[in-house]
Structure 1
């Protein structure tokens, strides 16, 4: 019976402490179901939940010379590049007809009559607004130099003096676009990169490749590695300058990825928008070289027909096999667009420079049909949230770290198609300092992210120290590292107490037995039987202790 009672006591103690740990656990903050009103940059208001997301419908928060001189690397004719069976449009693009896709099919598409493939992109978000044969394989010609140029800026030292070698110049012909480098001529890396990107100099490209990687072949490996890193899955390079090779190809989509990446480099942007570049006399060339940008959008030096003030770069390309290719960028009214046209059959640099005609058509379509919509400005309250352990239950108000805007169609109602998502942690703990980054807000249009920003606190939130200490105590008590050792200690104490009582009972029994044995021995010595007053008591003890307990049975 006593053993059973002891086991029951242990179980009861464990259950009681487990219940205590649960009941004393720090209280879990209840979900914040409150709502608040936020103001947008255009003055509109909306209601959002505690997570900052709209309670009802999603709306934006917030608050040259002749064409032969223009980049001609290969004069010999050859079959046109093969294409993939079917062009694949990017997500959110709607296919209108074979190979033609648009983000917003309600707009009248631009008439692209000359390019084999074409693309118009919002450079800020990377959204493709219009495309024609987006993933069809084409030859890039000197657009290859966009990759060569960005790798030179990322891996080379612009102040290094570089010597043109026979290995770099041996394959350059008089028909190639070049700056006229001589074997043994010394220029800086900066001069070579400018000559390559502005004047499309093939000789400069090869000299740069050898300087960076030791050989043209090693540099090509670097080019293809970079292409894979950028996600240019339809591209393969075999040389650094764009001379024709059937295995040297790309797509309009891949060129947009590359050009967008390159234009994020400030030095690259400065180079490709330079109209004219001058190279001082060198150790091998006594005169100053004056290199004119091959992009007719950039100046009137080559042609007065296509100078385009909004243009900011970037690169031309031409071979007989590739046709006339142009990647160009322009900015107007806070909108920055990129146009790509491939394999146009230009006749001259005047009325029939078709690569510029199609590119200008794309820019007109973009600037006429889209506007830059403010989504949130610094100081606008985008959301607010309850703060755990806040003094006086003060909430934290959140605003964007930087202004956010997005390109949307000019038609009425487009702003209502922008969806807002506020991403905040489930719990924000006090204290909070003004300016702390607490989350992010993203904006999407037709499933494509068009803007994002960090969310920062606009006010301080102090901690309720008394409540904080109380929660710490509860957490310590509820911690397994606290109550499990306590339970073990109590069990040890109970076990020790039980053992002590057992030893005390055993001592009493032994003492009674010894007393009884001494009384028996005394009777034998005197021959008399004297009353043993302890006998009846001993019998009672034996009966009580041995009656139902097998441990004391003989």
Structure 2
């Protein structure tokens, strides 16, 4: 009997079960995970999870946090920088605009909704033609009077092409339509040349109009915008666009999608340089594009976006379609941020 007791004690000591009752020792032995080639299948059988592993995972969750999911615990343990929604009204910088200068003004409140270097003085190219149109209309000329395209209207500065040959005659109204809609340089220059006092008087009137509108950082040298000395800022141009929107002729001509005009006995079709005027998703009141190498691609508009009137100015955009892309990004942002915009305006 003593020999059997000693053998049992030795067995318990060898298997680390000393101090347990023989029945407890037998149960504990069953709970020891197997080793060898059967160990892997015992830990996790295909398509299932062992009861012991499930219990362990559950206890770990409870130990980490009394309630909630493991995902939340991990997030708390490894804090990340908060990501603000792309449509957040407080962060228009997330628009990632490709234009070097940009400005969006809410005309109802006068607040700037988007600003990107709005005070930088830059060449403005054919955006100048909005000022040209205003100065012509302010003089109250006969819009049905015939004016002609002369040698003086040919672009010798940039060598740009025109569909208006020297000697072409048209009404002043048609010349303004082509200057604003399809950005015809010869038509714009002819409008200035036929102004009382000629081109010198016309340019003086352009600069006087700019000063009267509070465009203190703007200067005009000629009517077309071909000169890089026609300069302004996004802030100043927002004033100019808002002023241009008060002229019914400018609103009509600058947003005309296309027109057929008889040039020297031949009917030609002219199209608007801003593709957005042909889009059903845009409600545009005034539009003008511009481009020379020094100015990059420019676009200004007065439009209704997210049920509010706005002025949009985009200057010096790289790439042929990036100014249009910027305008669409601004529109989507305003529409998705409509609630925040309404709160800001209230």
TM norm. shorter chain > 0.5? yes
Which whole-Å CA distance do the structure 2 matches of 1:231 and 1:332 have between them? 26
Cα–Cα, structure 1 residues 315 and 308, in superposed 2: closer, same or farther, change >3 Å? farther
Does residue 364 of structure 1 match 2:332? yes
Task: Tell me what 1:265 maps to.
Answer: 247
Q: Distance in 2 between matches of 1:256 and 1:172?
A: 28
Q: Distance in 2 between matches of 1:190 and 1:117?
A: 32
SS in 1 for 2:277: coil
- How much has 1:296 moved relative to structure 2? 1.3
1:160 aligns with 2:145: yes
What secondary structure sits across from 2:231 in the alignment? coil
1:496-507 correspondence runs (5 A): none
With the length of structure 1 as denominator, give the TM-score of the two structures: 0.44
What's the offset of the Cα at 1:130? 1.5
Q: Equivalent residue for 2:103? A: 119
Match 2:196 to one of 191, 198, 213? 213
Q: Which residue in the other structure is 1:249 paired with?
A: 231
The answer to whether the aligner puts 1:144 opposite 2:144 as a matched pair is no
**Secondary structure in 2 matching 1:219:** helix
CA distance in structure 2 between the partners assigned to 1:299 and 1:105 by the alignment = 28
Does the Cα contact within 8 Å between 1:328 and 1:359 map onto a contact in 2? no
Residue in 1 that maps onto 2:262: 280
**1:443-500 residue CA offsets vs partner (Å, 9 max, x unmatched):** xxxxxxxxxxxxxxxxxxxxxxxxxxxxxxxxxxxxxxxxxxxxxxxxxxxxxxxxxx
Pairing 1:197–2:180 present: yes
Distance 2:90 2:318 in 1: 30
Higher gyration radius (CA):
1
1:154, 1:131 → 2: CA distance? 31
Residue 309 of structure 1, aligned match among 271, 279, 282: 282
Q: Is the 8 A contact 1:179 1:204 kept in 2?
A: no
Q: CA contact under 8 A between 2:125 and 2:290: conserved in structure 1?
A: yes
Residue 123 of structure 2: SS of its match in structure 1? Answer: coil
- In 2, Cα distance between equivalents of 1:157 and 1:125: 37
For the residues of structure 2 that align with 1:364 and 1:170, how far apart are their CA atoms?
39
Residue 216 of structure 1: CA displacement? 1.9
- Corresponding residue to 1:326 among 299, 304, 307: 299
Runs (5+) with no aligned partner, structure 2: 1-87
Superposition deviation, residue 174 in structure 1: 5.1
Q: Over the residues paired in the alignment, what is the CA RMSD in angstroms?
A: 2.3
Q: 2: CA distance between counterparts of 1:355 and 1:108? A: 16
Match of 1:233 in 2: 216
2:90 to 99, 102, 106: 106
Deviation at 1:329, TM superposition (A): 3.0
TM-score (normalizing by structure 2): 0.68
Relative to structure 1, the CA distance from residue 338 to residue 368 in structure 2 (aligned partners, 3 Å threshold; closer, same or farther) is: farther
Q: What is the number of residues matched between the two proteins?
A: 258
Residue 165 of structure 1, CA deviation: 2.6
- Cα shift at 1:214: 3.3
3-state DSSP of counterpart to 2:98: coil
- Following the alignment from structure 1 to structure 2, what is the Cα–Cα distance between the partners of residues 230 and 314? 19
Q: Which has the higher helix share?
A: 2
Give the SS at the match of 2:278: coil
> In the alignment, is the contact (CA less than 8 A) between 2:103 and 2:312 conserved in 1?
yes
Q: Secondary structure at the match of 1:297?
A: helix
1:203-259 alpha-carbon deviations (Å, 9 max, x no partner): 0011000111332222111100000000000101111100133x3211000110000
Where does the alignment leave 5 or more consecutive residues of structure 1 unmatched? 1-103, 301-306, 372-407, 419-554
**Distance change in 2, residues 1:113/1:409 (3 Å):** closer
User: How many Å separate the matches in 1 of 2:342 and 2:109?
Assistant: 17
C-alpha contact 1:141 1:318 (8 A) present in aligned 2: yes
2:119 to 118, 132, 135: 135
Q: Which has the higher contact order (CA 8 A, sep 6+)?
A: 2
